[in-house]
Structure 1
Amino acid sequence: MKENVKTGNFASAVVVALILFVAIVSLGTSLAILPIYVNKVLGLSPYFVGAVVTAESVSTLLSRAYAGRFSDTRGPKTGMIRGLLLMFVAGALCVAALATHGASAYLSFAVVFGSRVLMGVGESLIFTCSGTWPIGLVGREHAGKIMSWVGIAMFLGLAIGNYAGVWSYQHVGLVAGAAAMTGLPLLGTVVVWFIKEVSVHDDAGHLPLSYAVKRVWKAGAGFALANVGYASVTSFLALLFLDNGWNGYAALALALFGIGYVAARLLLGWRADSSGVNTIVVSLAIEAAGLLCLAYASTPLYASIGSLLAGFGLSMVYPLLALPAIKSLPEKNIGLALSTYESCFDIGILLAGAAGGIIASHVGYASIFVFAFVCSLLAIVCSYFAYQQLFSEVGRAAT
C-alpha cells in the first residue's frame, strides 16, 4: 500500500511539473510577442520595450517572499491556482490590448504594462508552488530530483514559448499568440483541481524574511552569479556573433547551449539528491570554461563549443544549490526558503543586463563573457560555503 501511495505521489509530482511547463510556455510566448507589439505595432521606442520586459522581472522579484509565505500558510495547490488565474487575467488583458490598439498607443501600452505586473506575481506563485508542492508530495529527500524536473520544465517552456511567439507573429498574427498564452494557464487550472493537496503548517508564516535571507544567501549568491552566464548567453551571444561577422552561426550556438543544458539535466538530474559540493564545483568550472571560450573565440566553431559547455555546466546549478537553500530552514518554511533562493535568479538576470549593457558600450560584447566567467568563479566560492553550512548543520543534527 505504501509503495502504491509513493508511486501515486511521484506521478502527481510529474503532473505538477507538466503544469509548470504549460505555464512557462505561456510566459515565453508573451516574452516573444509583446516587445514586437510595443515596438512594431504601437510604434513606441525601445525604452518602452525595456519597460515592458523589466516590469515583469521586477514584479516577480518583489513578490517572491509573498509567494513563499502563501505556499507555506495557504498551501501550494491554492497558490498554484491563484498564480495560473493571474496569468490568465494577464493574457486576457493582452488580448484586449492587441485587438483594440487603434484607440491609443499609450493606453494599449498601459494595459500591457499592467498585464506584465500581474504576470510577474503569477509567475512567482507558480515557480514557488511548482517546487514546494512536489516536494511536499514525495519528501525533502527527493528535493534534488524535483528541482531538476522544475528546472527543465522552465527551460523548455521558455524555449518553446519563445519559438511559438515568433511563429505566431510570422504566420497567424500577434492576437492568436496572445490568445494561446491566455488559454494555456486556464488549461493548467483545470488540471490542478485533480491533484492532491499537501498539509499546511499553521505557524509557518512567523519566520522573518531577514532570517531567511541570512540562511539562504550563500546558495542564493552562487545561483545569482551562475545565472549571469545564462543571461549573457541568451541576451548577448547573438550580438557577439553578429559583431564578429558570424551571422549564420548564432542560431546553432544558441541551440547548442540548450542541448548542453538539457543533456546534463537528463544525464545527471536523477542523482541530484546524492550529489554534493564536488558536482556543483565541477559544473560551475565547466560553465566558466565555456564562457571563457566565448570571450576569446576566434572562430564560430570555437564559440559554439563554448556555448555548449556553458549550457552543460549551468544545467545542474539550480537543483544542486537548491538543496542547501531548502534545507537551511525548517520544513514548514520550505516555501519561504525556495522563494528566497529563486529570487536570486531575478537578481542575476538584472545584474547581467545592467553590467552587460555598460560593458558592451565601452569594451565590446566579448568582454561581457569575461565578466560572466569571473562571476562563475565567484559562484564556486559561494557554493562551497553553502555546502559547508549544510554539512555543519547535518553534523549538529546527528549529534
Structure 2
Amino acid sequence: VRRVHDAFNVDYLVTNVVLLGCNHITLDVIRQLQQQQELYRNQHKTRVNIVGFGSKCCDFMYNPHGFSFEELIARLEGCKSTKTVFSAPPQSAEASQYSGAPSLEQLDSLQDLAIPILVDCSGQANTQDLYLACIERGIHVVASNARSVCRLPSTSSRESVATSRAKSGRTFLMYTSTIGASLPVIDTLGNILRTGDRVLRIETSLSGSMNFVLNAVMQGKKLSEAVREVLRKGYCEQDPREDFTGSDMAAKIVVLARALGVRLDPSAIQIEPLIPHSVLDAIAWSNDMQVDDIVAGIESYDETFREKYVAPAVAQGKRLHFVASIDLAKFPAIQAKIQPVLISEDHPAFYTQDNEIAFGFFTVQYQPSPLVLKGSGTGAAASATGVLRDVLTILNSLNGKNVHV
C-alpha cells in the first residue's frame, strides 16, 4: 500500500532508481536527469530518485532516501574507469555476479519503494541473474548492454514479463538502447510487426564505432590512425576487441532476433572480423594500457588492410563497411552473417557519416526499396538518452498513457 501511495503522488509520479556502471554513459544519465528535472516534473509529471549506485570500482551504495546528483557526478568524475581504454572481461564462468550489484537483501528493500527500476549501464556480460532476481520481485529493469540480455532465457522477453505478473502489476524489462543507443531501432521493428507486415531481410551497419573507423579510412586515414581516434572519443566497448571482431554486433543481432520472438544462438552467426584475431592476439592487453599501445599493435596490419579492402573500394567507387546481413525469408529460421563488405549506393549504409549507423528493413510492404533508419548510433550522450527513454516508457505505461512496450 505504501509503495502505491508513494508512487502515485497527487502532483507527480515518483520512481526509485538503482544505477549500475562506472563509465561515461552512467555519467551522462545522471547529468541528463540533473539538467532535465523541471522537464520531467512539468511534462512527464515524474520525479526520479536515485537510491542505489554500484560499479566494479566500488561496493554497492544504497540509501532509500536517495543520493544527490552532485554527489554521484563527483564520484563518477573521480573514478578511473571513466578514463580507461580497456577493461578486461571476467576470466571465468564462475564470475557470474557483477561485483557492484545490490545484494538480494537490498533488492528486497528496493522492491518496497515506489516504482523501483534497475538501470544497468555497467557494460558487463554477467548481470542476467540480477535481472531475473529483480523481475521476480517486481523491480523493472532497463538494460543498455546486449550481452546480458542475450543470456536471459527466452521467456524473459519484455512482452512475456509484462504479462507474467498480472496479479501484482506489470514488470518491464526494457532493452531498446542495446541496439542503436537512442535510435529507435526496436521500436521501428515493433511498429512494422504491429501492422501485420513481415520482415524478410535486414541489412545493417550497426556498429557506430566501426562505422566511424571505416568512414575515416575511406577519407584517407590509415586503419591504426582511425582506431586511435575512435578510442580517444570513447566510442568503443570496454573491451575494444568486441568491436574489432564483430562479437558486439553479434550480441546485438541476437537481441534483434529476440525482439522478433526468436532465440538465436550467437554461435550460429557467421563472422569475419574487421581486424583478424591474429593481429589482436599479438597485443599485450592489460587494464592499464594506453591508446597508443593498441594502435601500435594494429599498425602492422595497416598495409594489408589497405590492399585487401580500401584500394578495391576506391577503384570500384564503393565504400567499405562492417555489415550484418540477416535473412528472415524462412522465418522463424534465421541466417545471419557479419563481414567487411564493399557496398554500393543502393545499400542503406552507403551515405552514413562519422559514427552513424543504418538499418534497412526489407519487408513484404517495403521492397525492393527498404525502410531505412539512419542516425547516430554510439556515444555516451546518445546511449544515455536511449536508457532514459526506456525509463520514461515504463513510467508512462504505469501512468496509463498510450505507449508501446
TM-score, normalisation: structure 1: 0.30
More strand by share: 2
**Structure number with higher relative contact order (C-alpha < 8 Å, ≥ 6 residues apart):** 1
More helix by share: 1
